[in-house]
Amino acid sequence: SYDILKSKFRGCLLGSLLGDCLGAPFEGDNMTTGDKLVIKNYLDKLEEPGFKCPFKPYTDDTAMTRSVAKALIDKPEPDFKFLAKLFVKEYFLEPNRGYGQNVVSVFQKLRQNKFEDVFKPASEQFNGSGSLGNGGAMRIAPVALYYFDKYNIMIDVVTNATKITHTNPLGVNGALLQSIAIQECLLEPQGEKLNVHNFVKKLLDKMKVFEYEDEDDLDGVIEEPYREKLLTVQNLLLRTYDQDELYDEILETLGNSIVALNSVPTAVYCFLKACAETPDLRNIFRNTIEYAIGLGGDTDTIASMAGAIAGAYVGEENLNVNLVRHCEKHNEIIEMADNLLAARQEIEKKV
């Protein structure tokens, strides 16, 4: 129904914002066992009703997510030139949001070429192999929301929205996995306990078509890196570890870096681990974020992606209002979620 969708749209975009804002102070950190407690206390403190502190600024993850949402809201048909212009405009307006140097060179080329071919600068990155970073996946949530009931169009729009900066198949497939996970959560009923193993199976199934082509490679080796990561997620969910062992295992097998392959499956795992441990929707959201930040590495981005997935599952009312109020522009993000849903309703009316 409309109310559930509204709550899930808001939950997803707020979840993405919270992961970014709350994870950003730790980006690049190596976490020790003691640091896990520091993260727990940090989030506990922020959840206290009266607690006052300067707001937590968002980074490039949210800056770019906002541009993706704006493009969908303002244009009835997907317009990738418009989206590229929004990315570039936003970057030159606020360049100090933590963008990496490589994506900045894409923005500069796009501007120099007057957006003539919006996929060309990205395709030239890394000696023509294109970026496989997680910068495509980190901003993709609005596309998964907007096309929540139009799977094939979503896949197409995710692919092109990603290729403006990331053309390497690993970068694109990371964004696809992230969008598929969000869409699955949107369609998942809120009240029932999530079957985490079925959830991974659905992701495995859906990722197959994007990785299958490799079967015809000359070397005859089937390369299914994302599906392999998802199998690892499945294994990690089944096995019992002590906490320290588990964290070592996650870092070794799933990873926590700015490379999409070593961060998107990790984000999915953080959400599923939280779901496997408790049926309580409020705890699911909070724990997802806590696990993601506690892994260290690309904390803002992994927590943002995990937060978007968890938020789409639990809905806005299961995000702690105090965590929300500490994050920069949270009210604008809520408005954006509502506008995104309204834009979708408009399109429906016209057909």
User: Which of 15, 121, 133, 315 is the binder for ligand F2R (CB under 6 A)?
Assistant: 133
Say whether residue 123 binds ligand F2R (CB under 6 A): no
Q: CB–CB of 289/306 below 8 Å?
A: yes
Cα 210 to the center of its chain, rounded Å? 19
Q: CB–CB of 290/283 below 8 Å?
A: no
> DSSP assignment, residue 327?
B
Least distance in Å: CB of 94 to Mg ion? 12
Tokens 């998942």, located at residue: 188
Please report, as residue ranges, which positions from 67 to 106 form the binding site for ligand F2R (by CB under 6 A): 98, 100, 102-103
Residues 6+ apart with CB under 8 A from 339: 69, 73
Q: Which amino acid is at 11?
A: G
User: Which of 7, 62, 65, 131 is the binder for ligand F2R (CB under 6 A)?
Assistant: 131
Tokens found for residue 186: 């949107």
β-strand partners of 259? 133
Say whether residue 328 binds Mg ion (CB under 5 A): no
Interaction mask 15-54, Mg ion, x per CB under 5 A: ----------------------------------------
Please report, as residue ranges, which positions from 284 to 323 form the binding site for ligand F2R (by CB under 6 A): 298, 300-301
Tokens found for residue 335: 């408005």
Partner in contact with 178, chosen from ligand F2R, Mg ion, none, beta carbon below 5 to 8 Å by kind: none
- Cα angle 261-58-108, degrees, rounded to a multiple of 5: 70
Say whether residue 300 binds Mg ion (CB under 5 A): yes
Interaction mask 200-229, Mg ion, x per CB under 5 A: --------------x--x---x-x------
Partner in contact with 217, chosen from Mg ion, ligand F2R, none, beta carbon below 5 to 8 Å by kind: Mg ion
Least distance in Å: CB of 114 to ligand F2R? 22
Tokens found for residue 77: 């048909």
- Provide the 10 A C-beta neighbour count for residue 225: 18
Torsion, CA 258, CA 261, CA 263, CA 267, rounded to 10: 160
Tokens found for residue 280: 């309580």
Least distance in Å: CB of 130 to ligand F2R? 6
Say whether residue 224 binds ligand F2R (CB under 6 A): no
Least distance in Å: CB of 306 to ligand F2R? 13
Residues 6+ apart with CB under 8 A from 169: 132, 210
Partner in contact with 223, chosen from Mg ion, ligand F2R, none, beta carbon below 5 to 8 Å by kind: Mg ion
Phi/psi of residue 133, nearest 5 degrees? -70, 170
Partner in contact with 133, chosen from ligand F2R, Mg ion, none, beta carbon below 5 to 8 Å by kind: ligand F2R
Please report, as residue ranges, which positions from 35 to 74 form the binding site for ligand F2R (by CB under 6 A): 59-61
Longest pairwise C-alpha distance within the chain: 63
Say whether residue 266 binds ligand F2R (CB under 6 A): no
Binding site for ligand F2R (CB under 6 A): 27-28, 59-61, 98, 100, 102-103, 126, 129-135, 138, 168, 258-259, 298, 300-301
Binding site for Mg ion (CB under 5 A): 59-61, 98, 214, 217, 221, 223, 298, 300-301
